[in-house]
Structure 1
Amino acid sequence: MTHCPARYDEALGMWVIDEPDAVREVLLDPATFRPDNAVVAHTALSVKALRVLQGVGFALPPTLANNAGRSHRPIRAAVARFFSPARVAAVEPLTRRLVAERVAIAQDLLQDGPVDLVEVVAAEPPAMVLLEMLGLRDVDVPALKAWGRESLELFWGWPDEDRQLELAHSAAEFYTWLRQQVGAARRLPGDDLFGVLVSLGLSDEEVCAVAYFLLIAGQETTTQLISTAFQKTLGQAVDNPAEVVERVLREASSVPTWRRITAGPATVGGVELPAGAPLLLGLSGRGGAADLAFGVGVHRCLGAGLARLEARVALECAAPLLAGVRAVEAEPPMVELLSFRAPARVVVSGAITAGMTSTDTLDK
């Protein structure tokens, strides 16, 4: 059977491109394959949901992931400074301490019964590290985690109208909090994320748009990456955590797809696409390099280095625990969204008994 580099998926209503070279070609040509639809709700928002969002002035003008205009470069440069290699390296001791503390808690809890490694170990450290890097203090981490998960479902899920309305209320609450941070930064500018963005001369809506997805993608996708790595290594000796992270990125990234739209008629691998064609690009699990999971070109993920560090440290700290537990659920429930996938929980119990063998699930 001849492989088709671009095929139309009737159920998704999108052209699917998952051959790695073709995906790179698309990502490296943002003029032809624009990012305008990158953060558009995959499931059209209901009137009720829109009213809730409009009630707080919710808006996501082009800033980072959805921006192909001239303003993209200065905004990206300002945010990139928070994720410089030196700053990422400097945050490793904090990352290690936060994860080690939670691994110790998990080990204690295991004496009394099953433990969810997502909830106990993987959930909060990425958020706490991100907030430290962005200079943000006194943030309700559990609230941020809930806002992040629910916003991902709102924009990349398939919620029915009732669920969508619940998610819209959550997004509105998050956006209201963001507006409060912008207002505080305008009154007393500082060197944190909001202060830096305000100093660029961005509007309130632009600052909120940058912060909205940065505070979600900068931590929730890393929690998902760590959760997947944990699931794939249960009952195994983790001898090379960095290589495990690379394998997960190649084969089961927490961000397996991303979107683009054609600016005009275009061709991918000999397949002609019409103008305005929505594209779904496969970033992981198709034989491409691990780095493709973070994208390439001008919209490459700014937090790639941080995500790799956090996942590696999490595996290093949890290695003895992972080697001595077994999964309670053979098939855990999954976060299954258009562009995000990871185990929703990784419940484990007890030490593996003598003679029990484990299977390398990553190679299945």
Structure 2
Amino acid sequence: MSGCPARYDEALGYWVVDDPALAREVLLDPETFRPDNAVLAHTPLSVKALRVLSGAGFALPPTLANNAGESHRPIRAAVARFFSPARVAAVEPLTRELTSARVSAASARLAAGEQVDLVQAIAAEPPALVVLQLLGLRDVDVPALKAWSLDSLELFWGWPDEDRQLELAHSAAEFYAWLRARTTAARLEPADDLFGVLVTLGLTDEEICAVAYFLLIAGQETTTQLISTAFHRSLTQSSAPPDEPSRRSAPGDSIDVVEETLRCASSVPTWRRVTSRPTAVGDVELPAGAPVLLGLSGHGGPADLAFGIGVHRCLGAGLARLEARVALECAQELLGGVRLVDEPPMIDLLSFRAPKRLLIVTDGNTGDN
């Protein structure tokens, strides 16, 4: 139903609000449109999956994205200090060093005639290493963190069947056990890192684990997905058909590419709210308890809307923009001389969308090796 302020999507089970101005109004009214459902599993969890999670003591009490209570402000303030503008600016050299090293390695492989996956080769690890540096966390198995993150996103925002849910629940339980171990260690010997700060704040173990669970996912995996999407747009929007002379030039200004990606194809295109009382979106009346799905990207709104607005705006917005810009700058020459081997498979979840892989070869390579 085109032009409707809010339309009920039977398949999704949400009232969908795509108009950017209305989405903004919803986000700026957290009393009427509460965040209680922000991190609930989109596909109801099976009994078997719930048993696995329960066995690990898995719990997600209100802390950040799903918190409309009084505890939200102090928790957010404590975490926000790790992402201050000065701290974010200070990690640009590290971001550039990590990304440049991976671009150089990818370029060498391409020169040797290999196919390269831009997601795994360049986009995957730097955001994780950078956010861990900002949060003061050492001795973290980054490949495990990446796998846990992707599994958790699918568990809470995907459409897994019961067998797949069970696999994902085991992964989430393993992640949660690691978080509990870090929390226990922080209580015994507090440090000036994320867990130490949260312990000092007086949070329960469950609250600390809940903060860290989604912060360690959102703080790096969504940025990997933003970089991957920006790479994809740079490649597909600058390619000439194979039977025509190449019209490709180096990607445009990196800031412009990042902002355009956020406007049109953010890695977090939607987010959820639920009404606390009967209300209206435009001229559409919604009952109390109505689940709402907000379109944050791809509907003509500003780039900034991709990070939300108001009291729950993404704390890592500045960091994500910096990392995506640096990735494009470091990879500019590489992107100017390669092509995609095929149409990439996608991560396509309720609130997360990005290429799973971006397999490339040099322009002169047939891609058959």
Query: Does the TM-score normalized on the shorter chain lie above 0.5?
Result: yes
Give 1:339's match in structure 2, choosing from 351, 356, 359. 351
TM-superposed deviation, 1:239: 3.1
Q: Between the two proteins, what is the percent identity of the paired residues?
A: 75
What are the equivalent positions in structure 2 for 1:222-261 lying under 5 Å apart?
A: 222-234=223-235, 235=239, 236-261=249-274
Normalising by structure 1, we get a TM-score of: 0.96
**Cα distance in 2 for residues equivalent to 1:2 and 1:345:** 33
Task: Give the corresponding residue for 2:37.
Answer: 37
**Cα distance in 2 for residues equivalent to 1:269 and 1:92:** 42
Task: Give the corresponding residue for 2:82.
Answer: 82
Deviations 1:195-252 (A, max 9, x none): 0000000000000000000000000000000000111112541230011000000000
**Cα distance in 1 for residues equivalent to 2:186 and 2:287:** 44
Residue 254 of structure 1 aligns to which amino acid in structure 2?
S
Give 1:276's match in structure 2, choosing from 281, 289, 294. 289
3-state SS of the aligned residue for 2:31? coil
**Cα distance in 1 for residues equivalent to 2:300 and 2:325:** 22
Q: Is the 8 A contact 1:17 1:282 kept in 2?
A: yes
Task: Give the corresponding residue for 1:302.
Answer: 315
**Cα distance in 1 for residues equivalent to 2:325 and 2:138:** 25
Runs of 4+ in 1 over 6 A off after TM superposition: none
3-state SS of the aligned residue for 1:205? helix
After superposition, the Cα gap between the structure-2 partners of 1:21 and 1:190, relative to the gap in structure 1 and judged at 3 Å, is same
What are the equivalent positions in structure 2 for 1:1-364 lying under 5 Å apart?
A: 3-110=3-110, 111-234=112-235, 235=239, 236-329=249-342, 331-351=343-363
How many aligned positions are there? 352
Residue 161 of structure 2 aligns to which amino acid in structure 1?
D
**Cα distance in 1 for residues equivalent to 2:321 and 2:2:** 35
**Cα distance in 1 for residues equivalent to 2:312 and 2:87:** 20
Q: Is the 8 A contact 1:327 1:348 kept in 2?
A: yes
- Unpaired runs of 5+ residues, structure 1, are 354-364
Residue 124 of structure 1 aligns to which amino acid in structure 2?
E
- Unpaired runs of 5+ residues, structure 2, are 240-248
Q: What RMSD in Å do the two structures reach over aligned CA positions?
A: 1.0
Q: Is the 8 A contact 1:332 1:346 kept in 2?
A: yes
Residue 334 of structure 2 aligns to which amino acid in structure 1?
L
Deviations 1:288-342 (A, max 9, x none): 000000000000000000000000000000000000001101x210000000000
**Cα distance in 2 for residues equivalent to 1:177 and 1:22:** 40
Q: Is the 8 A contact 1:134 1:193 kept in 2?
A: yes
Q: Is the 8 A contact 2:113 2:361 kept in 1?
A: no
TM-superposed deviation, 1:112: 3.1
TM-superposed deviation, 1:113: 1.6
TM-superposed deviation, 1:351: 2.9
**Cα distance in 2 for residues equivalent to 1:25 and 1:228:** 27
**Cα distance in 2 for residues equivalent to 1:297 and 1:233:** 31
After superposition, the Cα gap between the structure-2 partners of 1:2 and 1:345, relative to the gap in structure 1 and judged at 3 Å, is closer
**Cα distance in 2 for residues equivalent to 1:122 and 1:54:** 33
